[in-house]
C-alpha cells in the first residue's frame, strides 16, 4: 500500500473457507489494537465479531477490507492472498456505520456507483441495480434523494450498494447502530434473511449481544485485541469459555467457590451451606473456581425446595410483564433469578428458596 512490508504468517487454508485470517496484528506504536487474530470463515457463513468498545473488532474488519494496513499476519480471500491489495480490487462489499452514502446522488445512482467504477455496461448496470432495489424492498424509490429517505431506507441503500457488485465477502460495521430499537430488530431480521437467501459470506461487527446471537452462524467474542471464544450462539451463551464471556453475553450469576471433592468428571463445589455438582475434568479438591448460572436456569419459590437449593431473601423484584427479575441475597452474594409468567412479584424481604436442575451451574477456570 505505501511500500512498507507486512510480515505474514501462512497456514494451509481450510478447504471450505471463503476467508482465512492468520495471525492478524495491528500495532500503533506501543499500543496493540489487534493481537494475532486467526479465523476461518466458511462459504455462506455469517460471522459476528462481538465485544466492547475498543476490543479491536472494527480494526480487524478494516484490515480485512484493506482500509487499515496490518502490522503482521495474512488474509486469504477465496484462496487468494490480499495483503497489499487495495479495497476496490478485493471483491468486497462493505456497509459502514454511517452508511457513507452520497447525498447529491439519487438512490439508483448510489447503488450503481460501484458498478460504474468497475466499468459495467450501462444496460447491465441498470438491470442489476433494479433487481437489487427490488430485493432490498426499495422498488420505485430509485429516483429519490438520500435526504428523502428514512434511516431504515438509507441502511437498505447502503446494503444494496454493497451487494450489487456480487462480492465474494460482505463486511458490515455496526450498520444498525443509528436505528431505533424496533427498527433495528426488524432490519437485522431482514439482513439475516437476505444473507441466507444470497448465501453470501459475511462478517458483521457489533457490540450488541442480541444482534450477534440472533443473526450469526458463528460468534467471535473479543476483548483487548484478543479472541476470547469462538462458537455458535448456543455454545457462546450456554457454555461460555470464561467469566468475561459469561458476563458479557447476557446476564449471568458468577459466584466464587471452592472445590470440596472431585472424581469421575464431577466436582462438588461449596456455595453457602449447600453443594453444587458441576461437570469438569480439570478441577481437583481444594481448587478455587467461579460458578456460573444464567438467571433463567434458577427456580424461585416461597416455600422449601427440594435439594439442591439455597435459602435467600428478596432484595429487589422487577416486574417485566412476561417475566419477573428477582435479586436475591443468598450464599453471601446477590443472585439474579428470572421467573417467567404474569404473576404478581413477591415482596422485598420475602424469604425464598432457590433451586436448580442438574447442569444449571458451570465451573469457569
Q: How many domains does the chain have?
A: 2
Of 11-20, 160-169, 340-349, the range with the highest mean pLDDT is 160-169
Convert the pLDDT of each residue in 336-364 to its tens digit: 999 988 778 899 999 999 999 889 999 99
Query: What is the rounded CA–CA span in Å between residue 164 and residue 184?
Result: 23
**Sign, CA torsion 84/86/90/92:** positive
**Is residue 66 pLDDT above 80, yes or no?**
yes
Nearest Cα neighbor of 365 from 280, 294, 295 is 280
Please tell me whether residues 229 and 312 are part of one structural domain: no
- Contact between residue 73 and residue 82 where contact means Cβ atoms under 8 Å apart: no
Please state, in angstroms and rounded to a whole number, the distance separating the CA atoms of residues 293 and 50: 21
pLDDT above 90 (res 302): no
pLDDT score, position 4: 39
Beta bridge pairs of residue 144: none
233 in the same domain as 212: yes
- For residue 308, give the CATH number of its domain: 2.40.50.140
Give residue 307's pLDDT.
Answer: 65
Q: 153 in a domain, yes or no? A: no
Arithmetic mean of pLDDT, 19-28? 96
Domain span holding position 233: 17-91+167-245
Residue 222: what pLDDT?
A: 97
Q: Say yes or no: 268 and 331 in one domain.
A: yes
CA 5 to chain centre: 32
Q: In terms of domains, do 85 and 176 share one?
A: yes
Among the candidates 245, 261, 283, a domain finishes at: 245
b/e per residue 15-51 (b: at least 16 CB within 10 A): eebbbbbbbbbbeeeeebbbbebebbbeeebbbbbbb
pLDDT score for 11: 43
Contacts of residue 350, defined as CB under 8 A and 6 or more positions apart, other chains included, come to: 302, 313, 314
- State yes or no: pLDDT of 82 exceeds 90: yes
Contact 361, 331 (CB under 8 A): no
% residues pLDDT > 90 (the chain)? 65
Q: Is the link from the previous residue into 308 a cis peptide, with omega within 30 of 0?
A: yes
Amino acid at each position: 500500500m505505501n511500500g512498507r512490508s507486512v510480515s505474514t504468517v501462512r497456514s494451509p487454508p481450510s478447504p471450505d473457507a471463503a476467508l482465512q485470517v492468520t495471525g492478524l496484528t495491528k500495532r500503533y506504536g506501543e499500543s496493540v489494537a489487534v493481537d494475532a487474530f486467526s479465523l476461518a470463515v466458511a462459504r455462506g457463513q455469517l460471522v459476528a465479531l462481538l465485544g466492547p468498545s475498543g476490543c479491536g473488532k472494527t480494526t480487524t474488519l478494516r484490515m480485512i477490507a484493506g482500509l487499515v494496513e496490518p502490522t503482521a499476519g495474512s488474509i486469504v480471500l477465496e484462496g487468494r492472498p490480499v495483503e497489499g491489495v487495495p479495497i476496490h480490487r478485493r471483491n468486497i462489499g462493505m456497509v459502514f456505520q454511517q452508511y457513507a452514502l452520497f447525498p447529491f446522488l439519487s438512490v439508483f445512482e448510489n447503488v450503481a456507483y460501484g458498478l460504474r467504477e468497475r466499468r459495467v455496461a450501462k444496460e447491465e448496470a441498470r438491470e442489476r441495480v433494479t433487481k437489487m432495489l427490488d430485493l432490498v424492498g426499495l422498488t420505485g424509490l430509485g429516483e429519490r434523494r438520500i435526504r428523502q429517505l428514512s434511516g431504515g431506507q438509507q441502511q437498505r441503500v447502503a446494503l444494496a450498494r454493497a451487494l450489487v457488485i456480487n462480492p465474494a465477502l460482505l463486511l458490515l460495521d455496526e450498520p444498525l447502530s443509528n436505528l431505533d430499537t424496533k427498527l433495528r430488530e426488524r432490519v437485522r431480521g431482514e439482513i439475516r434473511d437476505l444473507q441466507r437467501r444470497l448465501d453470501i459470506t459475511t462478517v458483521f461487527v457489533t457490540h450488541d449481544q442480541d444482534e450477534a446471537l440472533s443473526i450469526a452462524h458463528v460468534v467471535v467474542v473479543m476483548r483487548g485485541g484478543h479472541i476470547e471464544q469462538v462458537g455458535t450462539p448456543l455454545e457462546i451463551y450456554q457454555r461460555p469459555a470464561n467469566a468475561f464471556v459469561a458476563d458479557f453475553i447476557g446476564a449471568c450469576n458468577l459466584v466464587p467457590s471452592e472445590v470440596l471433592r472431585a472424581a469421575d468428571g464431577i466436582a462438588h463445589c461449596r456455595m453457602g451451606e449447600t453443594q453444587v455438582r458441576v461437570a469438569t475434568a480439570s478441577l481437583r479438591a481444594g481448587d478455587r473456581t467461579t460458578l456460573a448460572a444464567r438467571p433463567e436456569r434458577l427456580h424461585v419459590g416461597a416455600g422449601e425446595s427440594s435439594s439442591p437449593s439455597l435459602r435467600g431473601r428478596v432484595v429487589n423484584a422487577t416486574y417485566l410483564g412476561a417475566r419477573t427479575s428477582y435479586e436475591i441475597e443468598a450464599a453471601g452474594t446477590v443472585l439474579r433469578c428470572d421467573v417467567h409468567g404474569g404473576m404478581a412479584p413477591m415482596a422485598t424481604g420475602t424469604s425464598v428458596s432457590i433451586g436448580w436442575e442438574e447442569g444449571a451451574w458451570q465451573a469457569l477456570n
